[in-house]
């Protein structure tokens, strides 16, 4: 054999071994990632009539990173961030709108980058779905082909997300047809799960039977959580030490999704105290009075708009895998002792859950077993915190078993 022939064989075998080293998994069920509250990047363009401080930028000629932008959380600058991120409520149309002069763009729909990372700089602090996506690529998935992302305006509840939900429906159909008509798996985290449930509840059985293989829920908020009450009253610094909770309250309480995720009266008894204040206690029956007493009655209107969107719970009508953590200290009740309690931070009485969502809400998916013929699988993970569940090796191993190993 001549020199050229030997070179040809070497090249052939090199290509063969490189190709054989990659997974060759045909007919994978494609996956759409649906993030939760805070799980989508935001960009903003400004043309503001005024600003909350002289150092805040009033106008930009380009879209800049708004969420998550760690620089925006610095002292002083956070005041600009809150004003740009907040929503204004129209009590006539019962809808919300961006802060005046702020144009919000949610980048990357259909792609995975903006749900893998919360900051486009991709520093480790801002990882979101990345570790799951990285594992899936090693199993044979391909970004933006068999693995898609559905970022959205997480400030809003499904009653204001119809355009997004229509786009998700189209994305599911497009992904199905582009992948050999393989049914799509919907993989949600946190608030992304009740958003997905709302979508599935509004689709026909015929559509779901054709396009959806299964629904995998990570840390689903099926019956609300106590923590959003604290956001409404006091704000929450989201464990960022340099941020004061009260400074971000204006933005957090302006989000209809915060009202939507408050404890449901399907999961909390009417006599269970959620808030202890100097003059009275509050339960799920007392939301109207609570919002009046904290001087934020807009919050009650947003609760009225959203509380029945998935209440009572209705099964998704597709195979489901419900995964969540437990035995993580989770806010359960809030005790205020200061006379100006609606401006102070409470003592928090702990409950069982995943650090964010209470246990009773996490296991709400078990109610679906009696409502649908499709299988509902349930798996608990000891100590799996609400965000860290996205990075747990045992959780990723479960996903591999469902998505790949059973094929």
Report yes or no: 284 and 253 within 8 Å, Cβ to Cβ.
no
Query: How high is the pLDDT of residue 249?
Result: 94
Residue 66 phi, psi (nearest 5): -105, -50
Residue 183 and residue 390: Cα distance in Å, rounded?
23
The reply to whether 286 belongs to the active site is no
Catalytic residue among 189, 307, 324, 386, which?
386
Query: How high is the pLDDT of residue 73?
Result: 81
Low-confidence ranges of the chain (pLDDT < 50): 7-23
Give 203: exposed, middle or buried? Use CB within 10 Å, 0-12, 13-18, 19+.
middle
Catalytic residue among 119, 214, 354, 361, which?
354
Check whether the bond before 265 is cis (ω within 30° of 0): no
Query: How high is the pLDDT of residue 342?
Result: 83
The reply to whether 264 belongs to the active site is no
pTM assigned to the model: 0.92
Query: How high is the pLDDT of residue 343?
Result: 83
User: What ranges do the domains of the chain cover?
Assistant: 31-40+109-405
Tell me 190's DSSP state: T
Q: What are the strands, taking DSSP E only, across 41-177?
A: 42-46, 64-67, 87-90, 95-98, 102-105, 147-149
**Of all helices (H) and strands (E), which one includes residue 322?**
strand 319-326
Residue 294 and residue 163: Cα distance in Å, rounded?
33
**Digit-coded pLDDT (tens) for 26-38:** 689 999 999 999 9
Angle between helices 192-201 and 162-178 (to 10 degrees): 80
Catalytic residue among 190, 245, 254, 361, which?
190
Q: What are the strands, taking DSSP E only, across 28-146?
A: 31-34, 42-46, 64-67, 87-90, 95-98, 102-105
The reply to whether 386 belongs to the active site is yes
Query: How high is the pLDDT of residue 157?
Result: 98
Spatial strand order of the sheet with 275-276 comes to: 281-282, 275-276, 328-335, 347-353
Domain topology for 31-40+109-405: Rossmann fold (3.40.50)
Report yes or no: 187 and 133 within 8 Å, Cβ to Cβ.
no
Residue 223 and residue 312: Cα distance in Å, rounded?
9
Residue 237 phi, psi (nearest 5): -80, 0
């Amino acid at each position: 054999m001549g020199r050229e022939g030997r070179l040809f064989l070497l090249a052939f075998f090199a290509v063969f071994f490189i190709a054989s080293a990659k997974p060759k998994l045909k007919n994978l069920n494609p996956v759409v990632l649906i993030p939760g509250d805070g799980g989508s990047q935001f960009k903003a363009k400004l043309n503001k009539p005024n600003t909350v401080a002289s150092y805040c930028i009033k106008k930009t000629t380009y879209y800049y990173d708004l969420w998550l932008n760690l620089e925006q959380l610095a002292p002083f600058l956070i005041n600009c961030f809150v004003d740009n991120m907040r929503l204004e409520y129209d009590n006539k149309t019962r809808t919300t709108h961006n802060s005046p002069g702020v144009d919000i763009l949610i980048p990357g729909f259909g792609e995975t980058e903006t749900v893998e990372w919360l900051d486009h700089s991709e520093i480790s602090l801002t990882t979101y779905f990345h570790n799951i996506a990285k594992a899936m690529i090693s199993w044979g998935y391909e970004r933006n082909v068999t693995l898609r992302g559905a970022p959205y305006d997480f400030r809003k509840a499904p009653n204001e997300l119809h355009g997004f939900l229509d786009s998700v429906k189209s994305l599911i159909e497009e992904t199905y047809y582009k992948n050999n008509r393989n049914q799509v798996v919907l993989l949600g985290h946190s608030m992304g799960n009740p958003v997905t449930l709302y979508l599935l509840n509004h689709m026909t059985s015929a559509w779901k039977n054709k396009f959806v293989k299964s629904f995998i829920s990570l840390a689903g908020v099926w019956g609300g959580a106590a923590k959003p009450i604290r956001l409404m009253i006091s704000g929450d610094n989201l464990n960022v030490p340099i941020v004061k909770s009260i400074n971000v309250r204006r933005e957090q309480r302006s989000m209809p999704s915060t009202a939507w995720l408050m404890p449901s009266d399907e999961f909390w008894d009417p006599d269970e105290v959620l808030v202890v204040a100097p003059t009275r206690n509050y339960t799920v029956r007392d939301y109207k009075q609570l919002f009046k007493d904290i001087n934020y009655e807009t919050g009650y209107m947003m609760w009225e708009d959203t509380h029945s969107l998935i209440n009572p719970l209705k099964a998704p009508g597709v195979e489901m895998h419900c995964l969540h953590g437990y035995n993580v200290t989770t806010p359960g009740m809030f005790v205020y002792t200061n006379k100006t309690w609606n401006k102070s931070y409470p003592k928090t009485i702990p409950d069982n859950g995943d650090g964010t969502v209470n246990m009773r809400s996490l296991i709400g998916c078990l109610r679906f077993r009696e409502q649908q013929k499709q299988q509902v699988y349930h798996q608990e993970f000891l100590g799996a915190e609400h965000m860290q569940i996205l990075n747990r090796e045992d959780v990723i191993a479960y996903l591999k078993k469902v998505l790949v190993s059973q094929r």
